[in-house]
């Protein structure tokens, strides 16, 4: 299994996963043109070669280009019932035969890829995270969650690789230019995970098989890549975790990350 982030942050999110038989895109938070360019520049994939597009929730930075890609390339689109209801007006008309409904605690099989879905804590209608498996290799993805729940910990425990939100530094958020209601939303239980929260989440999930962590969905206003990385590493070290065991990196905001093998 290989994967890379195509873009990551409130300006747009998308992540690519491939196996020998299957290629999928998770979220499509930029224009169709920008997503096509990122696919070609990053993993070297043409959008028409994608087997499916999966959506975590209906917010604009995750669905902006979903309708365009689905219509242009006639690809299957997967989302929960709540997400379908909430994103309909944003993505435009989709043919019924392209609509697919996913449910938490269920497994979807696409070629040689198995995908499980779990609920996350965000101010959206029925948002989900993902656990993708090929054989014994597992990739966990969890962004846009105000708290790291026990269900999330159980779903992601001992994955080989984790893509986890480290959205903001609490002090930067409080000192920053956002209005108070937005600050309250971001730091709330249905908002976004802080750097410290990401580190604490990793303490619950990193296992013997975990070799890589990618910190994602960083705020441009309330965080810095080096600060997110330092905070997460310090949290792990304070709890006697050997950082030599796992490679921790930060997903680029505006361009594709490295295509990584699991």
pLDDT of 158 reads 84
Measured between alpha carbons, how far apart are the two ends of the chain, in Å? 5
Percent of the chain past pLDDT 70, that is, above it, reads 100
- Residue 106 pLDDT > 90, yes or no? no
pLDDT, tens digit, for every residue of 166-197? 999 999 999 999 999 999 999 999 999 999 99
Tokens of 105: 């605690």
Instruction: Provide the CATH number for the domain formed by 2-89+97-253 in this structure.
Output: 3.60.15.10
pLDDT of 148 reads 97
Q: Using CA atoms, how far apart are residues 155 and 150, in angstroms rounded to an integer?
A: 9
Residues 23-62: b if buried by 16+ CB within 10 A, e if exposed = bbbbbbbbebebbbebbeebbebebeebbbbbbbbbbebb
Strands, sheet with 161-165, edge to edge from the N-terminal-most edge strand: 107-110, 113-119, 128-134, 137-142, 161-165, 212-216, 247-250
- Residue 125 pLDDT > 90, yes or no? yes
Q: At 261, is the secondary structure helix, strand, or coil?
A: strand
Contacts of 182 (CB under 8 A, 6+ apart): none
What is the domain partition of the chain in residue ranges? 2-89+97-253
- Going by the DSSP 8-state scheme, the letter that residue 159 receives in this structure is -
Cβ-contact 114, 159 below 8 angstroms? no
């Amino acid at each position: 299994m290989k994967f890379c982030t195509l873009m990551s942050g409130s300006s747009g999110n998308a992540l690519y996963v491939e196996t020998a038989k299957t290629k999928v895109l998770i979220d499509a938070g930029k224009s169709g043109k920008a997503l096509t360019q990122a696919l070609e520049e990053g993993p070297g994939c043409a959008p028409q070669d994608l087997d499916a597009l999966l959506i975590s929730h209906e917010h604009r930075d995750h669905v902006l280009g979903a309708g365009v890609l689905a219509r242009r390339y006639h690809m299957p689109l997967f989302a929960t019932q709540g997400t379908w209801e909430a994103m309909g007006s944003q993505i435009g008309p989709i043919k019924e035969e392209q609509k697919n409904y996913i449910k938490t605690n269920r497994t979807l099989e696409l070629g040689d890829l198995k995908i499980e879905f779990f609920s996350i804590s965000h101010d959206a209608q029925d948002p989900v995270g993902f656990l993708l498996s090929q054989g014994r290799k597992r990739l966990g993805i969890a962004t846009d969650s105000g708290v790291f729940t026990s269900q999330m910990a159980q779903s992601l425990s001992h994955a080989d690789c984790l893509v986890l939100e480290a959205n903001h530094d609490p002090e930067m958020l409080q000192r920053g230019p956002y209005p108070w209601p937005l600050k309250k939303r971001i730091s709330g239980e249905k908002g976004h995970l802080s750097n410290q929260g990401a580190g604490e989440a990793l303490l619950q999930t990193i296992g013997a098989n975990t070799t890589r962590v990618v910190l994602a969905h960083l705020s441009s206003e309330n965080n810095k890549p080096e600060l997110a990385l330092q905070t997460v590493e310090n949290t792990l070290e304070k709890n006697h975790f050997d950082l030599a065991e796992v490679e921790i990196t930060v997903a680029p905001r505006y361009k594709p990350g490295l295509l990584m093998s699991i």
